[in-house]
Amino acid sequence: MTMYGLRHPLLARTAAGTALIALLGGMPAILLIFFWPVDLPTLDDLATPGEPVVIKTLLLATVWTCWALFAFAVAVELVGTVRARRNHVRLPFQRLAAYLITTITVAATAPIAAPRALIPAAAVTATSTELPEHAATVEPAGSVAEKPYVTYVVQQRDTLWTIADKQLGDPMRYRDIIALNQGRTMDDGRPFTRGEWLEPGSTLRLPADARKPERARTHTVASGETLWGISKQHLGKGSRYKKIFKLNKGRPQPGGMRLTDPDVLEPGWRLVLPKQGRDARRAKPVLRRTLPRLTTKPHHQAPTNEPPHFWASSSRLITEPEPHQPSRGETTATTEALSPRPLAALAKPNAEATSSEVVVLPQGGMMALSFAAGIAVALAATRLHRRRRLTTPAIDEPISVPAPEPQPSAVRALEQAYRSTRPEAAPPADLDLVSSAFEIDPPVTLKAGTRDDKPVNLPLSGLNLALTGPGADDCVRAIVLDLLTQADAYRADVLIPVQDAERWFGDTITTLTAHLPELQLTATLDEALNHLEEQLVGRRGLLQDYEADDIHQLRQTEPGEPLPALLLAASCPDGQPYLDNLLTMASSLGVGAVLTGHAPSGTTCELNQNHRITEATGPMAAELRDATLFHLPPGAATSLLHTLATGNGMPVDHPEHPADFPVPEPSTTPQPVRVTLLGEPAIDVHGTPVDLSRRTKALELLVLLALHPKGLSREQICDHLWPDLEETLAGYRFHAALKDLRTALRDACPPDDKKAHFIERSGRTYRIEPQHIHIDLWTYHQALADARTATDEHAKRAALETAAALCHGQLGQGLRYDWLDQDHRWPLTISSVKALLQLGALHERAGHNERALEIYDQACALDPDMESATRSAIRLLLDLGRTDEARQRARHLDARLNTLGVAPSPETQAVLQRLNTRRASGPGQQH
């Protein structure tokens, strides 16, 4: 085992120190004690080389020479460490000396050491992980860095070793921290150097992958797990398993089973975890410096005396105008933006929402903007699940870019509405979007509609609302779906008789319930009432046990008790007296009902065809009269419910068709303009970069035409780039963008190329001139076509190598175009990863294992959420005997799967079982 393979820094330092002392002091001591004085051979002895005295002298001279060289190498490394400079002298044994000194000086910064650290000059390799522990703050907007970073306030007994270990997951990444801080002026006015002493309270820059810890409030049971092991993992002690059992006893699990015996767990069950324990104690906020801002149109907010809040485990963000100044040894989080709206906040009731936070759907529906955020999260989760399930392609499988799947108009409109709330920010990564939307607080109100340009929010607890008229069914659909977007993590349950559910959402709803655990269908209304009665009796008993006045106080007293909001949606044309009696007792128990029909003791509203309340009677009549309620037509509601189910992991069986992408014939003459779209976009003319950052529509026009080699008509281009403008005005904008694009390219061209049009017109179609512009995307498609038609593995490998060389990142990385995100970006990423996996398999078959591993790493970097790519890398690392690296990849994969709440695929479980078997048989060796 290597020295750094020792898990505890003290053990590593002790081992290295012992070895260094033994070599520097022990070796000469042994020589002096046992072999001094040295009997030098005489001339007669030298004449006889076989004499023992000659051999002894030569051996002693060799040993002393080696010791002297090693001692000199140690001295050179010590000088380099103290001077914080890399040594250019290369001596025998210098590698060993650097290794030992690095181990001693870096391991000396372990948590048990003094709060100051000396950083060695020896070089080590850094490996990126995402396993942070402590808090970090975001650098002020005025600071400039070469790459994104977060900042960290040094604590007592902190060292670069411990900071790298806890924030970056690998103690050897202290070099990354040094690189970000080298030469910076620290809080005490001194520049930071490689050998800097760490002063508690000073601020360090950390790499951008230092992230806030994602506290999992639920745990997905894997095969072979026990409550004792889960409790030890999340709560610190296995003996606390009773807390987990108490929280989950009797709770319905996927498949219809329930937890009744602490010794019986089924794979795939989702267990609620209490807040107490190791995870809760370690949860501290960390923010990225590049955190995208989520904004809506301005609205007035009442002043508050509450202190500012920052990112916490529930992923809520509220910032105040006055920045919070960290005290010495305190960790805080601030953002560059003054008042960003959080994603999670969009998914919560907001009493201060304005009429601008309403989305009108193409099919005639109307929903709150917060509902659009919930659908955006579901779409992100759907993409994650789909990419996670992609299998490794076979060697002979043809790889092509899949055609974009048709998206229902309601889903597309809601996603576009969500994106419109972030006009200046690029869309967040799918995993970040899903994890940031995680919330555990149950909703307390229902977003019902608007009145006089103000939101209408109804208290859920004790709600007894009945709707009649032609628009009643549409409004019930909207209320139910809006609550389902907030029902994750046992926050809310919706109870519907199956007959009413099929009338509102279609017959397919019964096939979705397995992936919508929050939606409970009952055979009849009477069965739903029985379930409602059980809940009321149970919750009233809990109030008495905890001496709480209402459900809100109970949740504050015992936050670990799962008490989701419960809504009954049913049809009661003539009213239901027994239900009325139950709801009179539900005002303090977090239970409510929305009905179509009449509510004798509740509020009954008459709606017209425009979903406006014309008549209202009952306790809330004054608040609801003349309000327009949110509503969804049947088709839109069905498609949105299906989207929520796929976001919860329901497989989508869409046949995959290759995209129609005719690649133009290669140019026979040199092309002056080269356009890079795979990765960060770039344009250059004869090697000179062309900046179109101030001509945004010109760049968007170029990207759009690059994705359509056949060309598009002016009307089609305007539909993509200016969908909301009147046709004549959009036409003016198109010609202005076309002129800007041609002017920018001509200005950068030499005189011989200035006559080129670059964008040619043929009839009503505009397209890129392939003889003047080279597009890397076209070359990528051609490489895939060559791989599909290759007649042998060598030719196929060469074609895929060409494609791999072009895969620098996602399509148009950093560009924020709705049409690009929804129709082109992810299909291309999927094809790129599949091509890389096939290329890696070809290299493995040819025996090029190291090259195969590089390809698998490239695939993981391109899409870290594709399970097949990570699995291939882990499998190959195990085959190469690099167990430690395989274990690190497995931890990353496990963390990402836990964010989605899913278990690894059977193929991945088999690879992980190999890893566990290798771990049990002995420590891994690094090569």
Q: Provide DSSP, 743-796.
A: HHHHHHS-GGGTT--SEEEETTEEEE-TTTEEEHHHHHHHHHHHHHH-SSHHHH
Helix (H) or strand (E) holding 47, with range, is none
CATH topology of domain 358-390+406-647: Rossmann fold (3.40.50)
Residue predicted with more confidence, 376 or 104: 376
Residue predicted with more confidence, 113 or 918: 918
Q: What is the CA radius of gyration of the chain?
A: 33
pLDDT at 244: 84
Residue 287 has pLDDT above 90, yes or no: no
- For residue range 874-887, list pLDDT tens digits in order: 999 999 999 989 99
pLDDT at 18: 83
Name the token pair of 616: 């209202």
Q: How confident is the model at residue 328 (pLDDT cuts 50, 70, 90)?
A: very low
Q: What is the mean pLDDT of the chain?
A: 77
Q: To 10 degrees, the CA torsion angle through 700, 705, 707, 709?
A: -170
User: Looking at domain 661-818, which CATH architecture does it have?
Assistant: Orthogonal Bundle (1.10)
Residue 286 has pLDDT above 60, yes or no: no
Question: Range with the lowest mean pLDDT among 46-50, 804-808, 852-856, 863-867?
Answer: 46-50
In the structure, how many helices (H) and strands (E) does the chain have? Answer: 32, 23
Residue predicted with more confidence, 574 or 911: 911
- For residue range 42-70, list pLDDT tens digits in order: 666 666 666 677 777 778 788 888 888 88
pLDDT at 119: 34
Residue 324 has pLDDT above 60, yes or no: no
Distance CA 877, CA 593 (A): 56
Residue 279 has pLDDT above 80, yes or no: no
Are 1 and 925 in contact by the 8 Å Cβ rule? The answer is: yes
pLDDT at 350: 37
pLDDT at 293: 33
pLDDT at 280: 38
Residue predicted with more confidence, 424 or 180: 180
Residue predicted with more confidence, 289 or 202: 202
DSSP string, 711-724: -EEHHHHHHHH-TT
Q: How many CA atoms lie within 13 A of 191 on its CB side?
A: 4
Question: Range with the lowest mean pLDDT among 185-199, 630-644, 774-788?
Answer: 185-199
pLDDT at 442: 87
Question: Range with the lowest mean pLDDT among 6-10, 446-450, 573-577, 818-822?
Answer: 6-10
pLDDT at 522: 93
Q: How confident is the model at residue 696 (pLDDT cuts 50, 70, 90)?
A: confident
Q: Which of 16-30, 310-324, 366-380 has the highest mean pLDDT?
A: 366-380
- For residue range 357-372, list pLDDT tens digits in order: 899 998 889 999 889 9
pLDDT at 571: 92
DSSP string, 671-734: -SEEEE-BSS-EEEETTEE---TT-HHHHHHHHHHHT-TT-EEHHHHHHHH-TTS-HHHHHHHH
pLDDT at 713: 94
**Mean pLDDT of the 82-103 span:** 64
**Mean pLDDT of the 621-647 span:** 92
- For residue range 744-774, list pLDDT tens digits in order: 998 888 887 777 889 999 899 999 999 999 9
Sequence spans of domains, the chain: 1-124, 218-282, 358-390+406-647, 661-818
pLDDT at 831: 93
Question: Range with the lowest mean pLDDT among 235-244, 328-337, 800-809?
Answer: 328-337
Are 127 and 173 in contact by the 8 Å Cβ rule? The answer is: yes
pLDDT at 427: 67
Residue predicted with more confidence, 52 or 787: 787
Share of the chain above pLDDT 90, in %: 29
**Mean pLDDT of the 605-618 span:** 92
- For residue range 571-593, list pLDDT tens digits in order: 988 878 888 888 887 878 889 99
pLDDT at 16: 76
Q: How confident is the model at residue 113 (pLDDT cuts 50, 70, 90)?
A: very low
DSSP string, 274-326: -S-SHHHHH------TTPPP---S--------SPPB---TT---B--SSPPPP
Distance CA 437, CA 439 (A): 6
Residue 264 has pLDDT above 90, yes or no: no
Residue 294 has pLDDT above 90, yes or no: no
User: Looking at domain 218-282, which CATH architecture does it have?
Assistant: Roll (3.10)
Residue predicted with more confidence, 169 or 660: 660
Q: Which of 334-348, 719-733, 830-844, 884-898 has the highest mean pLDDT?
A: 830-844
pLDDT at 12: 64
